[in-house]
Amino acid sequence: MLKNALDNIQSHIDIGDDYIPELRVEFGTGQVANAYGCGLYFPERSPICAHGNVLKSAEDVLKLEEPELDAGLFKKYTSKKKYNFNRRSKKCRGRKRTL
């Protein structure tokens, strides 16, 4: 994932276009549902997705509590994002950003 993203950034640097470099961590859409207490399904060749649900009725939406910022996979997501950021191309290191 990281190598492909860095190769993509490098290709834009090489041609000198106005692309804004970005590193994204893809864990699928299940991470949001997981933060609210939903289970996860890990397909062999697809991103992680939600498995089951935590709501029994539409009214249960109003009872959901806001999850912590590191709930579910978000802690892993943040860790991976920082890992990618710290290993970005030397040509991108001049830009100051915080996570």
Q: Distance between CA atoms of 71 and 5, rounded to whole angstroms?
A: 26
Q: Distance between CA atoms of 94 and 2, rounded to whole angstroms?
A: 19
- The 10s digit of each residue's pLDDT in 62-71 is 999 888 877 7
- Closest by alpha carbon to 77, among 6, 27, 29? 27
Q: Does the structure show a pLDDT above 70 at 1? A: no
In whole numbers, what is the pLDDT of the chain averaged over residues?
Answer: 79
In the chain, what are the helix, strand and coil shares in percent, each to the nearest 5? 40, 5, 50
| CB atoms near residue 25 (< 10 Å) | 19
Which of the four pLDDT bands, split at 50, 70 and 90, describes residue 98? low
Model pTM? 0.51
